[in-house]
Amino acid sequence: MNKFLLFLKHEFKVNKTAFMIPFIIQGINIALSLIILLLVASKLIPANGTLDEGLNQLFSEINVGIDSELSGVVLMIIGYIMTSISVTIYGVLVGMIRAGSVLNYEIRMGYELFYRSLPISIWSRSVAKYLNSIVGAFLAAIGVAIVNYIFASCMFSTVFADNGLVWTMLFQGMLAGFISTIFAAFLFGSIGFLLSAVFTKMALLKGAFILLITGFVELLLKAFGIKFLPLFSYLTGSIAKLLRPTSMVMTSIENTKDIQNLTHIPLTNFFHTEQIWIVLISCGLFALSTIIYKYKTLDA
């Protein structure tokens, strides 16, 4: 097997537990949701009735027609949150948390000498680590999204009469979530990657502290009318931009009179030019991280 692919496989093996965490959390989420649903349904069981009747009672109380104005929209937004925003949050959090320790873990634990004594370049190792932490986290988020999508669609299909529409619309929500996640995971994962190259211990915490200080300095400079490298503003602005595909879908839900239109949102609406910049900045951050990592001294 090619050296790089072998190392990629190795990176996955040593980090596979981290990839399971989103699935475990989401499994617990779903299990809890079902337990709550069943508990509520059990309270609604008529005298001498069955759980099935209790569930029917519960669904009839919240049942709405697809044309119903507010409650239908609110439920649909909940569905979108389940399928898209949660995915983005997973992607960013898992990506950033994983990336935040990816380049310093082996140094911290004393394994780095073993890896540096192998005939594989630091750049190859760095790419394998980057792909595993960021793309890996993104793939884990997709897994969670699919689980969410199936769960949310099954649940909402029992509420809405038009099952096909629910599945299509929530698929759009999931797609919006995917696209937001890709770019968000790239940017924030790359920041985490850089922090892991710079700091050996508590990289994310130190990064967050620096970000806060930067924000404070920016505010101070702004108060004096000086605009200098607005890093904090850029990052906070990026979050809003990255979530645009999801927010766009949600705005469409709120604005549309005919909810059927939501199944026809053009895919191009999910993309914008800032995403290109985010990819370029992420690549730059990756290169900078690898150079710092390469020159990190392993003192005897």
DSSP character at residue 268: G
DSSP character at residue 200: S
Closer to another protein by CB, 117 or 255: give it: 117
- For 188, residues 6+ apart whose C-beta sits below 8 A from its C-beta are 92, 95, 96
Query: Which strand (E) or helix (H) includes residue 133?
Result: none
Q: By the 8 A CB rule, do 190 and 286 touch?
A: yes
**Cα–Cα distance between 248 and 242 in angstroms, integer?**
11
**Cα–Cα distance between 291 and 296 in angstroms, integer?**
9
- Least Å from the CB of residue 127 to another protein: 14
- Least Å from the CB of residue 13 to another protein: 6
Closer to another protein by CB, 226 or 298: give it: 298
- Least Å from the CB of residue 6 to another protein: 4
- Least Å from the CB of residue 104 to another protein: 14
Closer to another protein by CB, 40 or 120: give it: 120
Q: Closest by alpha carbon to 92, among 137, 26, 29, 25?
A: 137
**Cα–Cα distance between 7 and 83 in angstroms, integer?**
33
Closer to another protein by CB, 13 or 264: give it: 13
- Least Å from the CB of residue 167 to another protein: 41
- Least Å from the CB of residue 217 to another protein: 30
Closer to another protein by CB, 93 or 122: give it: 122
Closer to another protein by CB, 15 or 181: give it: 15
**Cα–Cα distance between 75 and 161 in angstroms, integer?**
13
Q: Residue numbers of the site for another protein (CB under 8 A)?
A: 1, 3, 6-7, 10, 13-14, 106, 109-122, 294-295, 297-300
**Cα–Cα distance between 227 and 102 in angstroms, integer?**
34
